[in-house]
Amino acid sequence: MASIKIKFRPSTVEGKEGSLYFQIIQNRIIRQMNTDYKIYSEEWDAELESIVVGGVRADILSSIKERLEWDTSRLEKVIRQLEQERRRYTADDIIALFNKMTQETSLFSFMLSVIAQLKQLRKVRTAETYTATLKSFMTFREEQDVPLDGMDSDLMLLYEAHMKAKGIRMNTTSFYMRILRAVYNRAVDKGLTEQKYPFRHVYTGVEKTVKRAVPIKVIKVLKELDLSMKPSLDLARDLFMFSFYTRGMSFVDMAYLRKFDLQNGILTYRRRKTGQQLTIKWEKCMEEIIKKYPPNGSDYLLPIIKESGNERKQYDNTLHLVNYRLKDLSRMLKLQRPLTMYVARHSWASAAKARNIPLSVISEGMGHDSEKTTQIYLASLEASVVDKANRMILKSL
């Protein structure tokens, strides 16, 4: 059976770090497999063939030692696999299979492949959230990849502590953890690693968010502001109001509304987040916003995406502008909490609740821990019931 040893090659330049490499021997043939790990001569115990952990670089040396142990474990796994195949193999075969396995079973590589697949499926927003999660985890790891079988509860607890130290909110921390868990479980399903339940000790729940709604009187003042000389503020206000008018439609759903979605006085769209189809009775206030902006050559209803091509970039740019200008409007109105597009959704639910509209109609808006409950309530209602509730709210403006 093949043997594995870790060796140290000192630098030819005095005072510089040397390199660590694996020596693999099979059938008396010796091969070297280089690594990216570098240490100083005094940090290597030649007799024990081991790193000496200590001094000011203790954390770095401990991390290198840990990664060497992971690599050794995977090399041993490769050798066992080749032995089970009961065929002749060489040290070169071990190295080739190890490199292939490393590419397939490292978290960074596997997650990048998942992101690429999401993009191919046109799940752009999901791909973006996975990318943000990977970037966060890579920052925590200082760009050092980790094998999938190296993901354990201790590592996840350290990642959670890292985010807490950076002041990241618990909901964001949980969001990243749930995405990593989904990627890990996918790897388990593919047989790339064993299920070790590394997320069992970290927080993956959802805290109730602070109330974001503003009173209907604030919506009225916002609606009546004269912003004719400030077009960017005017656009931000109009898109906020359109969201409120349409029962808190999300910005992404507004951006991708097509002109043909509006037919016979009914606006029909499918939520990009959940896939649920919704219908809204077209009201005069909605029409006034559409007429206010000159028609463009695109198929889109609102002045967010104005031309074909680069739709995602146009969406991102407009969202950035609107969020920035909503902060300006918040200061003008002297609000304690800044306006966002999500505030429009909260505010519609709050206004409906204040008017004693039944829970089954508004489904308590943003009050549920899961949006599935909201879908269950709304899916069982006739559209006319919800339209009637919406008309009641719009009349109060």
Element (H, E) at 328: helix 311-332
Does pLDDT of 367 surpass 80?
A: no
- CA distance linking residue 295 with residue 312, whole number of Å: 20
pLDDT, greater one: 307 or 292:
292
pLDDT band at residue 156 using 50, 70 and 90 as cut-offs:
very high
Domain locations along the chain: 3-104, 107-189, 216-395
Whole-angstrom CA distances from 294 to 190, 228, 301, 317, 322 are 52, 15, 11, 19, 19
What pLDDT was estimated at residue 36?
Answer: 84
What pLDDT was estimated at residue 104?
Answer: 67
Does pLDDT of 373 surpass 50?
A: no
Does pLDDT of 387 surpass 80?
A: no
pLDDT band at residue 378 using 50, 70 and 90 as cut-offs:
very low
Quick one: average pLDDT of 375-385?
Answer: 48
Q: What is the DSSP letter of 333?
A: T
pLDDT, greater one: 351 or 302:
302
* Mean pLDDT value across the chain: 86
Model pTM greater than 0.85?
no
What pLDDT was estimated at residue 259?
Answer: 94
Does pLDDT of 106 surpass 50?
A: yes
Q: What is the DSSP letter of 100?
A: H
What pLDDT was estimated at residue 233?
Answer: 96
Tell whether domain 107-189 is in CATH 1.10.150: yes
66 touches 94 (CB < 8 A): no
Element (H, E) at 34: strand 29-39
53 touches 65 (CB < 8 A): yes
Burial zone of 265 (CB within 10 Å; 0-12 exposed, 13-18 middle, 19+ buried)? exposed
* Strands 44-45 and 29-39, sheet pairing: unpaired
35: phi then psi, degrees, rounded to nearest 5: -125, 175
- Candidates 117, 207, 142; CA nearest to 170 is 207
- Candidates 186, 302, 309, 197; CA nearest to 255 is 302
User: Tell me: the pLDDT tens digits for 211-228?
Assistant: 578 889 999 999 999 999
User: Tell me: the pLDDT tens digits for 33-89?
Assistant: 998 889 999 999 999 999 999 888 887 888 788 878 888 988 998 999 899 988 899
pLDDT band at residue 256 using 50, 70 and 90 as cut-offs:
very high
What pLDDT was estimated at residue 208?
Answer: 58
What pLDDT was estimated at residue 364?
Answer: 37
pLDDT band at residue 360 using 50, 70 and 90 as cut-offs:
low
43: phi then psi, degrees, rounded to nearest 5: -95, 10
Range name among 41-50, 64-73, 184-193, 364-373 with the lowest pLDDT average = 364-373
How many other CB atoms are there within 10 angstroms of residue 328's CB atom?
15
Q: What is the DSSP letter of 266?
A: E
Which residues face 26 on adjacent strands? 29
Quick one: average pLDDT of 322-345?
Answer: 91
- CA distance linking residue 197 with residue 311, whole number of Å: 40
Which residues face 320 on adjacent strands? none
- CA distance linking residue 1 with residue 390, whole number of Å: 75
Burial zone of 179 (CB within 10 Å; 0-12 exposed, 13-18 middle, 19+ buried)? buried
CATH code of the domain made up of 216-395: 1.10.443
